């Protein structure tokens, strides 16, 4: 399997090559030259597979440059009951992403039972093992530099801790994370994990990472890499749980399901789109946003209008607070018939601070083929949904998952199973749960006292040179 760029000006690359890179050379995103297809017989065979076997079967279509035996061992090591054991006491850890029935034709797929209690573990744990494998094979090292507002940083650190050839330098805003999120990251004592708390906001941290990555000499000399949401390995890993959800909710391949997905950077639902392009019988992809509704606006009107960072609203589903959706270009590439010239033109406008509107183009008429619908939520909607789900189903959900359920209820068809993807456990966003329900959410035993553990973090001003010096010092 070869990978092409959405902007058409980069040489084709193999899976292992794009795994360690970020953007393609021409500034585009990587995608398979063509989507592998899943036959009816393959789908039937998948019905009796464990999650790890399913992961191997799907990934072997994407990672054709990794020998089958190695890939099988890698997926078996990644998707274990021991790693995904942090779910609610009544969760079935053996399923890895257990499906919970809420009512007739309405399900919740648990994706947040991994080490950091958010769905990002599903992909990041695999990435940790893939990185170690590819780097060891090549005798190389990588220094991952990233900025996080909470979930991505902790998922990356828990996935990369102790991995050979990998160091992580993670910048976070000192004041703007929950005490729980801070404790999750800063309590890690592994020698290859470095937390840097900047005296600023998430955007300041992000700007530092961009500035360091734009210094191409520094980047090459210090082998700087990234694991952000555009990483193809993460998208590919997320395709697996759409298959698992489908197989868990159906008994025969002529049935369809719909998925509802709390969305920010369009990474999670992009994997759903790819699963659908591979032939998985998905009727609707229901995209849910919060008040930062850039994507909802596009799917309702055809206009994609990224916001200025100053216009991003701070919400109670903070992992969806985005100004633009970094994976969205992958979908638009397919929508415009995979014409890289069209994509490059559209993003010329976006990258210079503008927008594009497809409403009056022939592409908009093709939207129906792709099954997308969308909606958005407010803080009041989240509180109401959390209360309703607790009252009706006896289940506490987090704020992001609440956005997914709210929009799912607006768009579901009575006769199609609708699966809402759970993107975090409520323990991560305790304050809003207390506001909604007046009680604290459940926490796994191992995290009961996490805020009291000793913390290892370097506090810095918003200063690019200081971060470079720190990286230099710790990679020598």
Ligand X SMILES: *Cc1c(COP(=O)(O)O)cnc(C)c1O
Active site residues: 120
| 256 interacts with ligand X by CB under 6 A | no
Sorted by sequence, the CB contacts under 8 Å of residue 138 that are 6+ apart come out as: none
Which tokens is 58 given?
Answer: 């799907």
Considering the complex, state which of residue 54 and residue 397 has its C-beta at the smaller distance from ligand X.
397
**Of 133-141, 209-217, 266-274, 467-475, which part binds ligand X (CB under 6 A)?**
266-274
Please state at what angle helix 340-351 crosses helix 328-335, rounded to 10 degrees: 140
| 319 interacts with ligand X by CB under 6 A | yes
| 118 interacts with ligand X by CB under 6 A | yes
Site string for ligand X, 122-161 (x = CB under 6 A): -----------------------------x----------
Considering the complex, state which of residue 5 and residue 231 has its C-beta at the smaller distance from ligand X.
231
* The binder of ligand X chosen from 264, 272, 417, 426 (CB under 6 A): 264
Shortest distance in whole angstroms from residue 69 CB to ligand X: 31
In angstroms, the CA 396 to CA 433 distance is: 8
Bridge-based pairing of strands 303-304 and 282-289 is: unpaired
- Residue 373 is classified by DSSP as E
Considering the complex, state which of residue 166 and residue 322 has its C-beta at the smaller distance from ligand X.
322
In angstroms, the CA 51 to CA 199 distance is: 42
Beta carbons of 256 and 419 less than 8 angstroms apart: no
Beta carbons of 243 and 46 less than 8 angstroms apart: yes
Site size for ligand X (CB under 6 A): 16
| 427 interacts with ligand X by CB under 6 A | no
SS3 134: helix
Considering the complex, state which of residue 43 and residue 275 has its C-beta at the smaller distance from ligand X.
275
Residues 380-419 that bind ligand X (CB under 6 A): 400
In angstroms, the CA 204 to CA 111 distance is: 30
**Of 181-189, 200-208, 258-266, 409-417, which part binds ligand X (CB under 6 A)?**
258-266
Considering the complex, state which of residue 15 and residue 429 has its C-beta at the smaller distance from ligand X.
429
In angstroms, the CA 413 to CA 393 distance is: 20
Closest CA to 192 of 212, 163, 221: 163
* The binder of ligand X chosen from 173, 262, 340, 417 (CB under 6 A): 262
In angstroms, the CA 110 to CA 349 distance is: 38
Which tokens is 236 given?
Answer: 């590919």
| 229 interacts with ligand X by CB under 6 A | yes
Shortest distance in whole angstroms from residue 464 CB to ligand X: 26
- Judging by beta carbons within 10 Å of its beta carbon (0-12, 13-18, 19+), is residue 175 exposed, middle or buried? exposed
Return the bridge partners of 459, or none: 197
Considering the complex, state which of residue 230 and residue 336 has its C-beta at the smaller distance from ligand X.
230
Shortest distance in whole angstroms from residue 463 CB to ligand X: 27
Q: Is 438 left (phi over 0), alpha (psi -120 to 50) or beta?
A: left
**Of 28-36, 179-187, 262-270, 367-375, which part binds ligand X (CB under 6 A)?**
262-270
Considering the complex, state which of residue 97 and residue 253 has its C-beta at the smaller distance from ligand X.
97
| 57 interacts with ligand X by CB under 6 A | no
| 374 interacts with ligand X by CB under 6 A | no
SS3 189: coil
In angstroms, the CA 425 to CA 112 distance is: 6
- Residue 104 is classified by DSSP as T
* The binder of ligand X chosen from 159, 183, 260, 424 (CB under 6 A): 424
**Of 13-21, 43-51, 257-265, 454-462, which part binds ligand X (CB under 6 A)?**
257-265
Beta carbons of 286 and 374 less than 8 angstroms apart: yes
In angstroms, the CA 206 to CA 195 distance is: 14
Tell me the residue number closest to ligand X, measured at CB.
Answer: 267
| 265 interacts with ligand X by CB under 6 A | yes
* The binder of ligand X chosen from 267, 272, 306, 417 (CB under 6 A): 267
**Of 20-28, 67-75, 128-136, 263-271, which part binds ligand X (CB under 6 A)?**
263-271
| 120 interacts with ligand X by CB under 6 A | yes
Bridge-based pairing of strands 30-32 and 99-103 is: unpaired
In angstroms, the CA 286 to CA 412 distance is: 8
| 266 interacts with ligand X by CB under 6 A | yes
Shortest distance in whole angstroms from residue 39 CB to ligand X: 28
Binding site for ligand X (CB under 6 A): 118, 120, 151, 229, 262-268, 319-320, 400, 423-424
């Amino acid at each position: 399997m070869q990978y092409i760029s959405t902007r058409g000006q980069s040489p084709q690359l193999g899976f292992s090559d794009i795994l360690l890179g970020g953007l393609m050379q021409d500034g585009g995103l990587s995608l398979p030259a063509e989507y592998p297809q899943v036959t009816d017989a393959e789908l039937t065979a998948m019905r009796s597979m464990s999650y790890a076997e399913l992961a191997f079967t799907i990934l072997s279509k994407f990672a054709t440059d990794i020998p089958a035996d190695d890939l099988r061992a890698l997926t078996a090591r990644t998707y274990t009951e021991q790693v995904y054991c942090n779910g609610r006491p009544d969760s079935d850890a053996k399923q890895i992403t257990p499906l919970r029935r809420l009512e007739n034709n309405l399900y919740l797929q648990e994706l947040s039972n991994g080490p950091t209690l958010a769905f990002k573990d599903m992909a990041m744990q695999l990435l940790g093992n893939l990185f170690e494998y590819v780097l060891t094979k090549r005798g190389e090292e990588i220094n991952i530099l990233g900025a996080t507002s909470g979930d991505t940083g902790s998922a990356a650190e828990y996935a990369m801790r102790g991995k050979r050839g990998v160091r992580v330098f993670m910048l976070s805003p000192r004041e703007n994370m929950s005490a729980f999120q801070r404790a999750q990251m800063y309590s890690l004592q592994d020698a290859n994990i470095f937390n840097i708390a900047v005296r600023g906001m998430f955007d300041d941290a992000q700007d530092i990472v961009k500035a360091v990555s734009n210094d191409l000499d520094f980047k090459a000399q210090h082998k700087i890499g990234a694991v952000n949401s555009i990483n193809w390995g993460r998208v590919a890993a997320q395709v697996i749980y759409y298959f698992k959800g489908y197989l868990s909710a159906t008994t025969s391949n002529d049935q369809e399901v719909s998925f509802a997905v709390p969305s920010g950077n369009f990474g999670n639902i992009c994997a759903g789109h790819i699963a659908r392009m591979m032939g998985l019988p998905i009727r609707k992809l229901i995209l849910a946003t919060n008040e930062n509704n850039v994507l909802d606006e596009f799917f309702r009107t055809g206009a994609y209008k990224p916001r200025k960072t100053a216009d991003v609203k701070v919400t109670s589903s903070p992992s969806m607070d985005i100004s633009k959706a970094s994976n969205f270009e992958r979908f638009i590439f397919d929508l415009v018939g995979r014409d890289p010239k069209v994509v490059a033109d559209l993003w010329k406008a976006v990258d210079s601070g503008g927008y594009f509107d497809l409403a009056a183009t022939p592409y908009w008429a093709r939207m129906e083929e792709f099954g997308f619908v969308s909606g958005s939520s407010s803080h009041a909607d989240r509180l109401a949904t959390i209360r309703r789900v607790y009252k009706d189903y006896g289940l506490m959900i987090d704020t992001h998952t609440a956005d997914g359920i709210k929009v799912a209820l607006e768009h579901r068809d009575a006769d199609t199973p609708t699966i809402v993807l759970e993107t975090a456990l409520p323990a991560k966003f305790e304050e809003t749960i207390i506001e909604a329900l007046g009680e604290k959410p459940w926490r796994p035993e191992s995290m009961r006292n996490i805020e009291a553990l000793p913390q290892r973090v370097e506090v810095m001003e918003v200063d690019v040179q200081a971060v470079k010096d720190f990286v230099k010092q710790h990679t020598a």
